[in-house]
Structure 1
Amino acid sequence: MEIFGSEKSVIVVSAPAGCGKTTLVKKLCQDEEVKEKFGNQNIFFLTFSELPNIEVIVQRLFQHKNWEVPELVDENDAINQLGLLLQKIGECPILLVLDDVWDRSQSLLDEFVCQLPHNSKILVTSRSDFPKFGPPYNLKPLNHDDAMNLFSHSAILNDGNSYLPDKDTVEKIVKACNGFPLALKVVGGSLRGQPRAVWRSQALKLSKGTSVFDSSNILRNCLKSSIEALKDIDMNLKECYLDLGAFPEDQRIPASALIDIWTELYELDEDGIHAMANLHRLSLQNLLNLISLGNEEIEEDGFYNEHFVTQHDLLRELIILESSLEPVAERRRLIAYINGNKFPEWWLEQKQSTSACLMSISTDEAFSSRWHKIQLPHVEALVLNFQSKNYKLPVFIEKLDELKVLVVTNYGFFPTQICNFPLVGSLSNLKRIRLEKISVPSFSFNSLRLKNLQKICLVMCDTGEGFSEISDSFPNLVEIDIDYCNAMKEFPDGFCDLIQLKKLSITNCHKISTLPGRIGNLMNLETLRLSSCIDLSELPDTIGRLRNLRHLNISDCVSIGKLPTQIGEMCSLRRLFMNNCTNCELPLSIGKLEHLEVLCDEETALQWANLEAYFKNLKITVIQEDTNLNWLPLNSHHF
C-alpha cells in the first residue's frame, strides 16, 4: 500500500537486525501485483552493506538490464553513469530496493534519490530511520502466537520424527527470543531432534540472560548459545562455522572454497563429502543458507561448484567477535579489514608471531597494495578478498612455509591483474589454489614449480596461454576446475601431460570448440566434466582410451552432434550426464558399457530407450526441470 498509494518516493523499512527486513522486501519483489506494476526488468535489488562500493553497484544495474557494462574510473564517474542509466530506462516506473543501508551511506543514498525517474520508488531497509524521508515503516518483532509458530516450524524435523517438550519449556525459550525471527529460527534449529534435557538446559540459559541484556543483546545471547552448542554435535563443527568469517559481508561464499579450507585444516576426506555434510548440518541449524544453483536431486560425486553459502549479517558479526576474543598471538584465525591503507592496530603493533592457522585479509578499491610485514609461521590457509583494479599479493606470502590453501577473490566487476603472482612459487607446501575473477599473465603459471600442488580452481579468470608447460610446474596435480572462463578459446593442450590427473572440470566456457586428441593420454582420469561448453562440437576418438573414467558430463553441450564410436571402450564409465543433448546421436557401440546410468532430460531419455535392447543393465534417470530461482546471480542480488 505504501508503494502503490503513497506520494513518497522513498520508503524506509526500519528495524533492528534479525527482524526480517530483507525477507520482507524480497517477498515483496516477488509479489505478482508488484511485478505487474514495475515489470521484472525494472525491479532492482541491491545490497549496500556497511561499506558499499558504488562502482560495482552501478555496474550490476547495467548487467541487470543486459546492457554493456561500463568500466568506471571513480565514484563520480559511477554516479554520472547511474544518472545516464536511469534516463535510458525512460518513463517506465522503477522499484529500486536498497538493502542494508547504513547511516554513513546517507550521501550515497541521496544520489540515488535525486536521480530517480518520475513514478518510481526507492525501498530502503536499514537499522536506522533516515527521518529526512519521513516516518519509516517500523517492522515490529513477532507477536507471541507468530513467534510460537515460527519456532515450532524451525524446531521440528521435516520427517516429523522430532517433538516439542513440555509447553513451559517452549514458552521460556520463545519468550527469551523476544520476537526476533532470526533468533527463533536459529535457536529452534539448534534444538531440533535434541533430547528433553538439552531443551531444558537451553531454556535455563536463555531465561537467565534476558534479565541482564537489552533487546539487541538478547538476540546476540540467543544466537551465541546456538553457536556454542555446535561443539556438542561435532568437535570441529564450531571451528568450521567460525571460518565463514574469512569471507566478506553480504557476499555468497562458494561451498568449494570452504571445502578446500576445511579439507586441509581439519584433515577431512579429499572428495569433500564430510565437509559438505558439515554445511548441511549448519544449514539444518539455520546458521547459514545453503543454496544450490543446479538440480539438487542429481548430485555429482565431489562436485560442489554450484553450491553457495549465505549468512545473516548478525550471525557474521558474532563469528567475527568470537574469533577476536583471545589475544592476537593466541587466535586460531586472524581476520583483517584494511580500509584504504589503514591497517588494524594489532597488525602494526605485532611484536611476536601468532599461532593462527587461518588468515583472511579484505581490502577495498582504495588500497594501494603496500603491505606491512606480519609473522604468520603457522598459517595453513590464506584468504585474500579485494576490489582493486590492480592488486599485488602480500610480500610476506613468501615466508608462509606451512601454507596449504590459497583463496584469492576479486569482488569487483572486471578481472583484476595480479602482477606479482610468481611469489606463489615459493610456497612449497601449497596444495590448493582458488582464483576468482583474476587476470594472470601466461608466464606466471609456467614459471611456478609447485610439486605438492594437487588442485587448481579458476572461476571467471583470464590466464592467457598459461598452461603450456603445466606438467613441469605442477607434476602431481590431481584436480582442475575451470568455470566461466570465457576468455579461454581453446582447451589447454598442456593439460594432456598431467598423467596424475583424476578430475578435470571445464564448465561454462562458451568459446571452447574442440578437445585435443591427446586427451586420451590422461590414463588416470576418473571424472571429466564439460557441461555448458556450448560451442564444443565433438569429443575426440581418443576418449576411448580413458579406461579409468567413471563420470562423464556433457550436459548442455548443445553443439555436440554425436558421441564417438570409441566411447564403447570406456569400460569403467558408470554415470553419463547428458541433460539437454537432444541432438546428439548415440553409437551402437555404447551398448558395451555395462552398469551405465544416464542422467538426462525426457527427450534425450527417449533416444536412450531405443537402445535399451543393446544393454544388460542400463539405467535412465530423467532430470526434472528445476523451477526455482536459485540460478539468479547471488552477488548481484537482482530479481
Structure 2
Amino acid sequence: TFGDNIFFVTVSSNPNLERIVQELHLRRGSKVPTLGNEVNAVKWLHHFLKEQGQNPLLVLDDVWSGSESLLEKFDQVKMPNYKLLATSRSEFPRFGSSYHLQSLDNDNAMKLFHHYASLGDKSSDIPEDLSRQIVLVERCKGFPLAIKVLGGSLCRQPIEIWTQRLNEWSRGSTVHDSDDQRIPAAALIDIWTEYYDLDEDAECIANLYKLSYRSLANLVVIRKEKVEKVEKVEKKEGNQYYSEHFVTQHDILRELAIYYSKQEPVEQRTRLIIDKCDRLFPKKLHNMQVPDVEVLVLNFQTNNYALPESVENMDKLRALIVTNSVSPAELSNFQLLSSLSNLKRIRLERISILSITKNPIELKSLQKISLFMCNIGQAFTNCSIPISSAFPNLEEINIDCCDDLVELPADLCDLIRLKKLSITNCHKLSALPEEIGKLVNLEVLRLRCCTDLVKLPGSIEYLTRLHFLDIYKCFSIEELPERIGELSGLETINMGQCSRLQELPYQF
C-alpha cells in the first residue's frame, strides 16, 4: 500500500522536531533546510510529506514517555492517506488505538539467538550445554534486539567467554531497553584516526564493518541511489565518501563502554565525552585538570555555548568534536584552543562559524576541519587573519549541508598544503574561486550535490596532482573547462546526473 513512501526515524529519549525533519530530508536525498524553530520545522514537515505524493507512512521509533508534545506536531498534519505509526514502551491513548507487541516466546527467542550466535553458519561452535544457553537468553526477556546483540557478541567466541558472560549475568546483570542514537561515521573517523594512530579513513570504516558483522554496531548508509554504483566510481583508495555513513549502537553496549571509561579518574582519562542540555558547565568542569585527554567530544542543546576553560590545559588534545542538536549555535571561548600544539582535527556540527571568526586564532598544527550543517555565510571573508595564516598546515577541508554557503573566499586558495577539498550538499554554492589553481597539492576535489554551481574555474588545469574529481548531481554545470584534459594525474571523474552537461571538451 505504501510502497517506497515509508519513512523511519528514531526519536529516542531527547525528542527534537527540527532534527527529525532535517533527517527526513537528508534520507530522501533532498535539500536539508535550516529551520531555526519548531514553526519552520512544522512547515517543512508539511512540505516534505506533500513531495512524497500519496500514502506516506511515517514511523517514529522508540518514542519515550513524555513525548506527547512531539506527537501533537505530527498529529496536526492533515493530508489524505497520511499515516503515523509510533513505537514505544509507553501508551499514548489520546493519539489513537494501541497495539501491544508481545515479546518472543522461549522457542523463537532461542532460534533467533542461534541465528546470530552462529551468523547462519551451522558449523560454528556453540556450547552444547543447553541450560547455559537458556539462562543467557532468558536474561534478554524476549527482546529481539537484545537477543541479536547477545548472539552477535558471543559468535565464534571460546567457551571461556560464554562462561564469563553467564557468571556476570548470574550476579544480576541483565539486558534491557534499547535506544539507538545515530553517530556520523565521519566523526568516528576523526576520533579513531587520532586516538589509534590510523593512517587511512578506510581503516576506520573497515573496523565499523567488523563491528557490524558481530552485531556490536549497525553501519547505515543514507543514500537515495544504489550504494554499489557510487562505490564503483569511488573504488580508488582515498576517494571514499563517508558523509552519508552513520553508526547506531545498542544502548547496552554504549552504556557498557561509558561504564568502563568511567572506571578511571577524570584526570587520567584520554577520552572525555560531555553531554549538556544548557550552556553552563558545572564549575568543577571548568577547573578540572585533564592533561592526558587526546579526544574531546562535546554534545549540547542550546543556542549559545562556551568551551570549558579546562580545554586550555589539554596539552595532548588531538581531536575536538563539538555537536549541537538544535539550530546553529553561537560558540565562544574558541580562543582557548590557540595554545594546543597537538590539535590536528576539529569537527563542528550546527555551529555559527561567524561566532568563531569574530576573534580569529592561529591553529598551526590543525590538519583537518569539518563543518556539518553550520552557518558559514561570509564568516571567512572579513577575517583579520588570512586563512593561510590561521591554518598553515591544513590538509583537508570538509563542508557538508551548509545551506548559506554561496562562495568560498579567494584566500582559501593560499592553503598550499591542502590535499582534499570536499564541499557537498551546499545547494547555494554558485562559484569557486578563480585562484583555485594555486592549490598545487590538491588530490581530491569533491563538489557533490552543489546544485547551483554553474562552472569550474579555468585555473583547475594547474591542479596537476588532482586524481579524483566529483561533480555528481551538479545540475547547473553545462560545460567543463576547455583544458581540463591537461590534468595528467586525473584518474576518476564522477559526473553522474549532471543533466545539463551534454558534451566534453575536445581535448578530454
The reply to whether TM is greater than 0.5 is: yes
Residue 569 of structure 1 corresponds to 486
| In structure 1, distance between residues paired with 2:357 and 2:58 | 43
Alignment of 1:39-438 (within 5 A): 40=5, 47-53=10-16, 71-72=36-37, 98-103=60-65, 105=66, 108=69, 124-128=86-90, 137-157=99-119, 163-165=123-125, 168-169=128-129, 172-173=132-133, 176-178=136-138, 179-192=142-155, 194=156, 198-208=157-167, 211-213=170-172, 217-219=173-175, 250-269=180-199, 271-294=200-223, 295-297=226-228, 298=231, 299=234, 301=238, 302-324=240-262, 326-329=263-266, 354-364=267-277, 366-368=278-280, 372-412=286-326, 414-438=327-351
Residue 351 of structure 1 corresponds to none
Query: Does the alignment pair 1:481 with 2:410?
Result: no
| In structure 2, distance between residues paired with 1:481 and 1:129 | 43
Q: 1:55 to 1:203 in 2, by over 3 A?
A: closer
SS of alignment partner, residue 491 of structure 1: coil
Q: Output the amino acid matched with 2:433.
A: P
Mapped contact 1:442–1:463 kept (Cα < 8 A): no
| In structure 1, distance between residues paired with 2:8 and 2:16 | 15
| In structure 2, distance between residues paired with 1:296 and 1:134 | 38
CA drift of 1:314 comes to 3.1
Q: Which runs of 5+ in 2 are unaligned?
A: none
Name the Cα RMSD after superposition: 4.1
Mapped contact 2:15–2:70 kept (Cα < 8 A): no
Alignment of 1:588-627 (within 5 A): 588-590=506-508
SS of alignment partner, residue 465 of structure 1: coil
SS of alignment partner, residue 220 of structure 2: strand
**Cα offsets for 1:433-485 (capped at 9, x unmatched):** 11111112277277211111100101111233333511011111111111111
Q: 1:446 to 1:470 in 2, by over 3 A?
A: farther
CA drift of 1:107 comes to 6.6
Residue 459 of structure 1 corresponds to 372
Q: 1:375 to 1:58 in 2, by over 3 A?
A: same
Mapped contact 1:442–1:464 kept (Cα < 8 A): no
Mapped contact 2:15–2:67 kept (Cα < 8 A): no
| In structure 2, distance between residues paired with 1:182 and 1:431 | 37
Task: From 428, 449, 456, give the equivalent of 1:511.
Answer: 428
**TM-score normalised by L of structure 1:** 0.65
CA drift of 1:174 comes to 5.4
Q: Output the amino acid matched with 2:248.
A: T
| In structure 2, distance between residues paired with 1:110 and 1:546 | 52
Q: Which runs of 5+ in 1 are unaligned?
A: 1-31, 224-248, 330-353, 591-639
SS of alignment partner, residue 128 of structure 2: helix
CA drift of 1:211 comes to 4.9
CA drift of 1:128 comes to 4.7
| In structure 1, distance between residues paired with 2:93 and 2:427 | 49
SS of alignment partner, residue 257 of structure 2: helix
| In structure 2, distance between residues paired with 1:471 and 1:553 | 25
SS of alignment partner, residue 589 of structure 1: coil
Mapped contact 2:396–2:418 kept (Cα < 8 A): yes
| In structure 1, distance between residues paired with 2:450 and 2:422 | 11
Q: 1:317 to 1:262 in 2, by over 3 A?
A: same
SS of alignment partner, residue 177 of structure 1: helix
Mapped contact 2:8–2:58 kept (Cα < 8 A): yes
CA drift of 1:182 comes to 2.5
